Structure 1
Amino acid sequence: MALMPGLQINIGQQLKLTPQLQQSIKILQYSALEVQQTIESTLETNFMLEVYDENEELASEERNDIEADSAVDSDAEPAPLDIEQANKISDELELDCQWDEVFADHTASSSQSSVADYVSAETYTASEKSLHDHLYWQSDIYPWNERQQIIAPYLIDDINDEGYLSSSLPQLLEAIQENELDLHVTSEELSEVLGVVQQFEPTGVGARDLQESLLLQLGVVKSTPFVVTARQLIKEHFDWLTYQDHKRIKKMYALNDEELHQILKLIQSLNPRPGRTFSATQTEVVVPDLRLRRNRQDGWIVELNADAFPRLTVNSAYVDLASQVQDSNESKKIKEQLTEAKGLIKSIHSRGETLLKVGKFIVEKQQRFFEEGEQAMQPLVLREVAEHLDLHESTISRATNQKYIQTPRGTFELKYFFSSGVSQYGSADQSAIAIKAHIKALIDEEDPKKPLSDSKLMQLLEEKGISVARRTIAKYREALNLPSSSERKKLNKFKF
């Protein structure tokens, strides 16, 4: 069959996102902090966009009022000045201070306060010292030989923020041999240098695992009862501690309950993460997008956080200038800047409207939570919000991820209020979050000597009208990082 060129017409549908819609979707999924960063970067590059300053507008209005008043006063005839009365002050004038207070020596008082209030610049500037900085400082003053001085930085660089070696000694030895071809380091030399590094502060640093770190820390403990037994227990039977096999420990080392309690107390006083002392912890900044407040008349009110974003507007002066520009290239550039500015303003405005709708529905659905707490949380899924607001589930997902609401009970991420429902017999479904809160409350109130089993928890929940399977309770308990009843009994026995 011969191949012949030809034309074909196909009819089909395609969905294409406009640049404006793409930007709106991107802005909606951004967190408040990311939106602020986007605004700042756009302000630096787009001269058509500016921050609306309400104080500046009020100041201009005041200037206009003053100018208007001065114009009116200038038209009126000035009142005659009575020279004799001008230098007199009425005795009936009430003063809230004495004249000597008003005309006090301002220079002397200000100089004294300025000296007292002076704070040096060093008070305001401080550099954080990392774990590696501290280890390198100790390494610099240690009397290494030439070979050890080359090996030590490899070990220090491999120590993570928690104070442990990230790589094994064979891996470190291989890395040194690849980079230091003329050194020919042996495993004995590497172990010797590691032994020195493990003597640095903080105690326990440079260990390869938790067991070694605890032994290093116990190695510097002196004049403490049971330190030898604790060191021997960790070295020989560390797995017994892990599994909390206290009965076998007491039998092996001939200990009574009080002696075992003292040993466990000593071990628990050690630091399982020695490097955290010098680790710089950065606090995550959470900017709430919404605020919830209660009004006696209107009840719960959800509003956008006005402090989260600056109010944006288009610079009217540049808009007027754009109409006067004759150069086509310059005019095109101005129009592009104007389109970008208007698009960003519209996207942020659309984001705020969507968050406000979603926030109002969540507060309406979870009103009992804000009044009673977690145990009153209602089941809620994305589909329910999407159907009520006539939006797509993906839009609701973007509008609740990394979006926060500030409430009288604290600041929560919007997706926190979503949880699946557990079916109940003859009653409304229960939220998984509410059931977890009930389980945690029951365990917190239990008798430490007789912890509640999962079966007993199931019975107590049924008394509250909550029907949950035992395996579901076990799953929720593990999600809350709560041990089983037998493990809690062991832990409660040696609590101090």
Structure 2
Amino acid sequence: MAVMPGLQINIGQSQQLKLTPQLQQSIKVLQQSALEIQTMVEQTLEENIFLELDQDEEDVLADDSAALDAQDEATTEGSLSSEEDSATTDTALGNDLETDASWEDIYQDDPIPSLALTHSGDAEEWTAPENYTAEQRSLHDHLLWQAEIHEWDSDLDQLIAQYIIDALDDDGYVDEPLQTIAQAISEHAELPITEERVESVLKVVQTFEPAGVAARDLQECLLLQLNADTRDGPTTALLEQARDLISNHFELLSTHQFNRIKRRYKLNDDQLEALIHFIQSLEPRPGRAFAVVENDYVVPDLILTRRGDRFVLELNSEAYPRLRLNPEYIQLAEQIKDPSQANALKEKQQEARLLIKSLQHRGETLLRVGRYIVDRQQRFFEEGEKAMQPMVLREVAEALDLHESTISRATNQKYIQTPRGTYELKYFFSSGVAQYGQDDQSATAIKSYLREFIDAEDPRKPLSDSKLVKLLEEKGIHVARRTIAKYRESMGIPASSERKKINYFK
């Protein structure tokens, strides 16, 4: 069984290229995220008796430069230099793996103190107080509770209400046609249910809290909230105007035709502003208050820190479980005389060695790619998005003598923790924009400037694309107006005319 990465050529009536098992494993491991790696390792530890965690080195962090061959002492200390290009390539996987698969060539000798909270008791059972959360009732549960205490005319009506509540989306809108709901209830109850009866029950559900729930569109949602508003005083006139506007002239409101609204209702600027602000106080997504917020956590593969005037790139030890072969089980396996059992155990050993090598290769590849990115984008880490340099996969692949697909796998779902925050590695790739004979400018940098200019603009006099071109030229960036329009649209920013309408009452 071949263990070296490479291609096999079978010559017969046809030629076929086959990836060796080790190269297949290396590709699979490289493209997985840190969380997927942790899950895979945990599962493999349960299935393969020859693998075990290297507990003696559990708290040691990875040193970026030790994974690369023939580096000078300054590089070993973690400094990043543009002259460092003697790292091992992605095909340089040797077959001389030690029994314990030591990672001393990747991990530092001096551990960095842990930032874990101190506490008493069993570490495996203790949970930090901030990890406890109060139970949060969902919109579905809140509406079902109201349906249970409501006095329905019949049990069938309550059943219809439950079906309607189940049909609501996260924003509180009815997500299915009433006819579809009626058909589903008819099949379940084995009774003919009409769409009219479903709509009558829907009217009841629409009286539940929060106001505006169970609407079929935004117009109905806003009207439900206005109809539920029973305030007296000066608000009464606003209520009547808002109801009429949304009921009969909703298209004027949705298209920001404020001048036509003023003429139709004979309003001055102050009265129009009060009316629009009143409508803006309504909730277009009534289910939002019950939305369960779940944070997406990522485990960074690389950690970038600054020590003095140098950046230090390291593998995150928590993202790379340190594995080794269990020497006791290897000795026991050598004593097995039965050929079939011996071969099965030998395959398990080979699988364990293959996984250890693949993990090591993954770490080395990510370090190489990460080192190049940090060196290329060093100004970004010092100055921010505006200093981002254009960089594409082909550039990195040629510099590191790797294939573009390898760079793509090494940057997709791989994260780096930096003093500026945690970023996916592919975030640092952006195409270059030509500048009439000057050096190309990163698209990310241009978007950063556009966002800054638009955030600071006068809401009553938004900046046109032509004006944005001039402002960029003052920063030494020369791009065409159509490029500005393309980037503005990709950022979800409307044109200046639309922004003026949206910002009219801000």
Give TM-score scaled by structure 2 length.
0.79
- Matched with 2:389 is 378
Matched, 1:363 2:363: no
Q: C-alpha displacement at 1:128, in angstroms? A: 3.8
Structure-to-structure mapping, 1:331-342, within 5 angstroms? 331-342=342-353
- Matched with 1:233 is 245
Distance 1:142 1:431, change over 3 A: same
Instruction: Give the gaps of 5 or more residues in structure 1.
Output: 1-8, 59-118
- Matched with 1:247 is 259
Matched, 1:41 2:43: yes
Structure-to-structure mapping, 1:458-477, within 5 angstroms? 458-477=469-488
Structure-to-structure mapping, 1:89-488, within 5 angstroms? 126-144=134-152, 145-181=154-190, 183-223=191-231, 225=235, 226-296=238-308, 299-488=310-499
One-letter code aligned to 2:142 = H
Q: C-alpha displacement at 1:459, in angstroms? A: 1.6
Q: Distance in 2 between matches of 1:444 and 1:149?
A: 50
Distance 1:329 1:130, change over 3 A: farther
Q: C-alpha displacement at 1:479, in angstroms? A: 1.6
Instruction: Give per-residue Cα distances to partners, 1:382-426, cap 9 Å, x unaligned.
Output: 111111111111111111111111111111111111111111123
Q: Distance in 1 between matches of 2:448 and 2:251?
A: 33
Q: Distance in 2 between matches of 1:205 and 1:448?
A: 33
Distance 1:368 1:184, change over 3 A: same
Structure-to-structure mapping, 1:54-73, within 5 angstroms? 54=56
Report which structure shows greater RCO (CA 8 Å, sep ≥6).
2
Q: Distance in 2 between matches of 1:185 and 1:211?
A: 27
One-letter code aligned to 1:435 = I
Q: Distance in 2 between matches of 1:366 and 1:339?
A: 40
Judging by fraction of residues, say which structure has more helix.
Answer: 1
Bigger drift between 321-330 and 136-145 goes to: 321-330
Instruction: Give per-residue Cα distances to partners, 1:61-91, cap 9 Å, x unaligned.
Output: xxxxxxxxxxxxxxxxxxxxxxxxxxxxxxx
One-letter code aligned to 2:164 = L
Q: Distance in 2 between matches of 1:365 and 1:200?
A: 57
One-letter code aligned to 1:165 = V
- Matched with 2:33 is 31
- Partner SS, residue 165 of structure 1: coil
Bigger drift between 276-285 and 429-438 goes to: 276-285
Distance 1:337 1:128, change over 3 A: farther
Question: What is the percentage of aligned positions where both structures have the same residue?
Answer: 58
One-letter code aligned to 1:227 = L
Q: Distance in 2 between matches of 1:57 and 1:204?
A: 54
Distance 1:307 1:317, change over 3 A: same
- Matched with 1:70 is none
Bigger drift between 32-41 and 195-204 goes to: 195-204
One-letter code aligned to 1:24 = S
Q: Distance in 2 between matches of 1:203 and 1:46?
A: 57
Contact 2:212 2:222 in 1 (8 A): yes
Contact 2:173 2:213 in 1 (8 A): yes
One-letter code aligned to 1:184 = P
Q: C-alpha displacement at 1:56, in angstroms? A: 8.6
Q: C-alpha displacement at 1:274, in angstroms? A: 1.4
Q: C-alpha displacement at 1:339, in angstroms? A: 1.7
- Matched with 1:22 is 24
Q: C-alpha displacement at 1:280, in angstroms? A: 2.1
Q: Distance in 2 between matches of 1:468 and 1:364?
A: 26
One-letter code aligned to 1:217 = Q
Contact 2:58 2:322 in 1 (8 A): no
- Partner SS, residue 19 of structure 2: coil
**CA root-mean-square deviation:** 2.3
Q: Distance in 2 between matches of 1:271 and 1:250?
A: 23
Instruction: Give per-residue Cα distances to partners, 1:104-148, cap 9 Å, x unaligned.
Output: xxxxxxxxxxxxxxx9x9x95754432222222221222221221
Q: Distance in 2 between matches of 1:125 and 1:246?
A: 45
Q: C-alpha displacement at 1:276, in angstroms? A: 2.3
Larger radius of gyration: 1
Distance 1:37 1:143, change over 3 A: same
- Matched with 1:93 is none
Aligned residues: 423
Q: Distance in 1 between matches of 2:180 and 2:166?
A: 13
